[in-house]
Amino acid sequence: MKGIDMRNARKVWLITGASSGFGKSLAEAVIAHGDSAVVTARRLDRLQAIAQGHEDRVLPLAVDVTDAAARDKAVAGTLARFGRIDVLANVAGRGVAGACEEFSLEQLRAQMELNFFAAAEMSRAVLPQMRKQGAGHILTVSSIAGLVSMNAAGPYCAAKFAIEGWTEALAIEARPLGIHVTLVEPGAFRTEFAGDVNMRPVQSIPAYRPVVEPFETYLAASAGKQMGDPAKAAKRMLEVVASDAPPVRLMLGRDAYSIWDATIAKRIEDLNSWRARGEDTAFDDAVFEAIKL
């Protein structure tokens, strides 16, 4: 199985969070493209509706990605049905709406468990097979909030920042093995993200209302009106997988690029304001040596 050509051959996908949002749009695009897929989520009935009429090459599985045994079941089920895994799409996730102090420790852990550990562990679960094949692609859906911190979304940003760092390191390590890794960083898209599915904090602290309420108002007002089309996002993901030189980061949406550009400018300004003093922290006789990456 060494050296599978990922560009032209029909692929086998394993997609998490496939019952709604980006996951559903990606599953539908993969099926329309003629590829095979194992589609997973907690709601089996929604997955069966997606697979209807394509049961010969689409396998729906009820999977809670925060459960190790369920993750192993998804990988084993894909290999048993199709014999290989060409693309893993880590899509499952959940947002938040509330101030950092308002969330409980249990809620912070739940955010990390779903948005970081589940994606990292699912990736680790497919890597042995991809190393054996000498080929594969891992797509992990992060967010512009994985690069830019936002008020009223601290726990979500923390988990997405974590998966960004872990995934970028994995991309460097896996590339020589023939495995591509791509972070997908969407802005606002018409998914269920802006709805009631977001985690809400266990307490409300009045002092934070001035910074939390505008975010809550934005989510409510924008629901169903966001610029981003999930179907077009799915198309971009398929194009990345088919590319000879896929990017490590795929940012999606003019709004995402806009906030990223503004954030980078502010970060450079902030860092440079203390750069001279920050650099003046070495031993007097030290010789400069750049960190090697």
Catalytic residues: 142, 156, 160
Beta strand residue intervals within the chain, DSSP E? 12-15, 36-41, 58-62, 87-90, 136-141, 179-186, 249-252
Q: How far apart are CA 102 and CA 202, in angstroms?
A: 7
Please count the other Cβ atoms lying within 10 Å of the Cβ belonging to residue 98: 25
Which residue from 246, 197, 222 is spatially nearest to 96, judged by alpha carbons?
197
- Contacts for 74 with CB less than 8 Å, ≥ 6 apart: 14, 16, 38, 40, 61, 63, 122
Contact 143, 185 (CB under 8 A): yes
Burial readout 246-263 (b: 16 or more C-beta within 10 A, e: otherwise): beeebbbbebbeebbeee
Strands 87-90 and 249-252: unpaired
Please provide the DSSP assignment of 150-189 as one string.
-TTBHHHHHHHHHHHHHHHHHHHHHGGGTEEEEEEEE-SB
